Structures are given as C-alpha cells and as structure tokens.
Structure 1
C-alpha cells in the first residue's frame, strides 16, 4: 500500500502534476468507556485498540474527537476517513468497509432502584410515560424502529441522561452499555445500588471500525491483520479485561 502510494506520487511529480492525496483521518465520538477525553487526552478501550493497530501497521493517522452527528457526517462525506467505535447494522452495512468486531455489547434501559413501579417487560417500556435518550445516534433510531412512541430525545450527552434521572426529570433512560453506565456512575459519584438495570435487552451488536468506501483495500487488510494479531497474542483480551475490571463487570 505504502509502496504503491509512493510510486503514484513519484509518477505525478515526474509528469508535473501536483500531488493532492487526501490524508487519512480517524474520527470518533465521546462515548465512554470506549472512546472519551480524560484530562484533554483521548483514551478508552477502543482507542487503545486502534492505537495498537496503528503501532503494528506503522500508520500515524490523525485522530479527532467529534460530536456524534458530525463524526458520522464526516465518515459519509470526507474521503479517506476511518471511524471507531461503530455498531454494524444492516442499514449501515453497504455504506462502509468494516474491520472487526472489536467487542460485543448490549444496551439496556435503566431506572432508579427506588422507583415505585419497577419496569420488567418490553410491554411496560412501550407504555411508559417517557423514556429519555440522547438526541441523535443509533439508539434513538433503533427505539423508534421498534415502535417506541414515548421517546424524549432531549439529552445532548450521556451525563445529562443520568442527571435527568437523578433529578426526577425522567423515570427511564437508555443510552449506554453496562460498562458505560458503570463509568458514568463513577464520574458522577452515583452510589452503588442507586440505578437499576431493567431486564430487557433493547439492542445487541458488535462494535467495529468503519472505513469510507474510497479507503485503500491494502490499508483495510493491514488493519484487519493487525487486529487479528492483537487477538491471537491476547493483547486484545487484556485491553478489554482492563476496562471491564475498571467498570466493575
């Protein structure tokens, strides 16, 4: 891949054609514990995995943290763009090229453990007065596709979801995996036992790395091979386990 790119660049120079190759860009959103900023430094489970991949491939692509809607838009519109962590859905399948899976995760709703009416079924969720989720992204889309007509999509970020629940501004929230809930509970100093996971799995899928269609197949193959190296060596499992332990899972 790097040899062919260099050859093409030298050919352009020999013909007097200016080289305007679009550099690769890696983007992600703030979604703990997979990718998030801590002391203004990007970290997280999948961030560590992506960095380990680039260490093996020798790539030094720029990485940017963007809001959820913008990161998805950049992936769709900017050439040579890579996005992590993304759920691979049937609707998204033809839009991108994929490397993974990195990790499999589930999404559950949560309510306060002190709620007077514990929710335990999908029917109860569908008939709840209000379920609060983030204002954009896969989860509200999934819930709408499953027939939820009681969604409050007013939260602009995960922390706002928990603050709304604790303040009594909503009774049910949906937005994070169990590992994410554990992370934000620590961040917001929510005492253990305060939140109750409603036993209804609303979504289950694997997180992947998505590549815009114009990305070179050699780059994608190199990343896939590097991920497999991390898997075989046990490093992938070690990274995942470190964050699972930190989340209390």
Structure 2
C-alpha cells in the first residue's frame, strides 16, 4: 500500500513538473523570438545575401523592430534559402517566420502576419525587342511565362487561368531572369522592384525591358507559421510600429 502511494505521489510530482516546464517553455516563446526559425530569400532590395550575411531593407526592419521591442534578433539567426524550400517550411512550422511575403487573399488564412514591410507590384516582364505589346488579360497572351516556383507570381498566374503547360518554373529568380535575358523565354512574372534588380545584377540593361502586364499591387509582410503564439506577432508588430515612419 505504501509502495503504491509512493509511486502515485511520484507520478503526480513528475506530471506537475512537466506541466511547469511546458508552461515555462510556452511563456518563453510568447516573450521573445529565440525559438523562431527565421527564413528569407534572395529578393533585392528587400532581402538578399551579401558577404555571407542577410541584407536589405526588410532585414534592417526586422532587426530594428525586434530591438525596439526589447528582444533583438541578430543577423546570424536569419537563414537565406530558396523561396520554395522556405515557403514549404513556414506552412508546416513549427515556430517559423518567413519574409518578405506578398499578402494575398489566397495566403491570408495560411499564416499570421506582421508588417507591412513595403509595397510590391507583381508584373510580367518582357524584352522591348520581343514584339510583345502590353495586354490586360492573361488569356490574351499566348506566350509561355517563366515564374519562380511557389512565389506570388506563380500563384497569381495560376489564379488568372494559366495552365502548367503555359508556365516554366525556375527554382531561383537568377535562373528565371537568365532565361529572359538569353531569349529562352519571352515573359517573366515577378516583382517589379526585385525583377529590375535581378536583371541589373545579371548584367542586363534594364532599359531594354518593359512591363507588359500588372498581376497585382500589394504589400509585403513578415509571415509566421500558424502555431506561433499571437503574443509573438504582437511583439514584433509593436516594434515595427515604433521604427516605421
């Protein structure tokens, strides 16, 4: 009888201790960003890798906002990777943060959001010498379009009615821009600002290119996996509101 009581008492103590540990862990996650896996991609001028480190206006905003919130995020916590890999990771979690993400109706309920970071216009690029004239409807276009896999350009093209046969998917924006530059394809669906930067970095003259269609104008945000506690998002949002003009 005494042995049974001792075992039961030990079980209760263990359960209580584990409960306290869980509560402490949840509280720690709610109060800082230390448990987050932070991801970004090569998307200049907002975020990109420079000299082995994450750089860009969105990186600066994240570090400044977290510092203003009293829980600074250091540069070594930010992982630069391909968009497709990061996008998959932030959907499944746990404790994941990805930026800069265009906030759309299709994505609204997939993530939790803090921001905005800045404006983003998703467009279709073409060479001026291609002979392609601006068009108002995707269905008016018969040319194949290159997109970066799982980016908002990819998703918006599909939403507009483009089939897989009408799309060429690249894993990185550098690959997509080179396809356009080297005349392997005539159209590229991507960000206006970042697309211009990618073309320039690849050695192209941006003046030789033009926008033939606007898919969407929206804003960029920090996107969190759904399991992240609301208090973490609120903490970063508070910091953003403090440092943004």
* TM-score w.r.t. length of structure 1: 0.77
Q: Which residue of 2 aligns with 1:165?
A: 180
Residue 47 of structure 2 corresponds to residue 35 of structure 1? yes
Q: Which residue of 2 aligns with 1:245?
A: none
Q: Are the aligned partners of 1:110 and 1:196 in contact in 2 as well (CA < 8 Å)?
A: yes
CA RMSD of superposed structures (Å)? 2.5
Against the structure 1 CA distance between its residues 189 and 97, is the aligned structure 2 distance closer, same or farther, given a 3 Å change threshold? same
- Deviation sequence 1:79-105 (CA, Å, 0-9, x none): 222221112222222222211222121
Against the structure 1 CA distance between its residues 165 and 171, is the aligned structure 2 distance closer, same or farther, given a 3 Å change threshold? same
Q: Which residue of 2 aligns with 1:138?
A: 152
Q: Are the aligned partners of 1:136 and 1:153 in contact in 2 as well (CA < 8 Å)?
A: no
- Deviation sequence 1:49-91 (CA, Å, 0-9, x none): 1111111123245322232122122222222222211122222
Query: CA shift at 1:174, angstroms?
Result: 1.3
Q: Which residue of 1 aligns with 2:98?
A: 83
1:1-249 to structure 2, matched below 5 A, reads 16-17=17-18, 19=21, 21=25, 23-61=35-73, 62-115=77-130, 117-123=131-137, 126-149=140-163, 151-175=166-190, 177-198=191-212, 200-231=213-244, 234=245
Q: Are the aligned partners of 1:133 and 1:151 in contact in 2 as well (CA < 8 Å)?
A: no
Against the structure 1 CA distance between its residues 225 and 109, is the aligned structure 2 distance closer, same or farther, given a 3 Å change threshold? same
Q: Are the aligned partners of 2:124 and 2:211 in contact in 1 as well (CA < 8 Å)?
A: yes
- Deviation sequence 1:204-229 (CA, Å, 0-9, x none): 21111122233233222221111111
Regions of 4+ moved over 6 Å: none
Three-state SS of the structure 2 residue aligned to 1:90 is coil
- Distance between the aligned counterparts of 2:140 and 2:172, measured in 1? 23
Against the structure 1 CA distance between its residues 76 and 154, is the aligned structure 2 distance closer, same or farther, given a 3 Å change threshold? closer
Instruction: Give the number of the structure whose alpha-carbon radius of gyration is greater.
Output: 2
Q: Which 5+ residue runs of structure 2 have no aligned equivalent?
A: 1-12, 30-34
Q: Which residue of 2 aligns with 1:8?
A: none
Query: CA shift at 1:181, angstroms?
Result: 2.3
Q: Are the aligned partners of 1:126 and 1:148 in contact in 2 as well (CA < 8 Å)?
A: no
Q: Which 5+ residue runs of structure 1 have no aligned equivalent?
A: 1-11, 235-249
Q: Are the aligned partners of 2:93 and 2:226 in contact in 1 as well (CA < 8 Å)?
A: no
More helix by share: 2
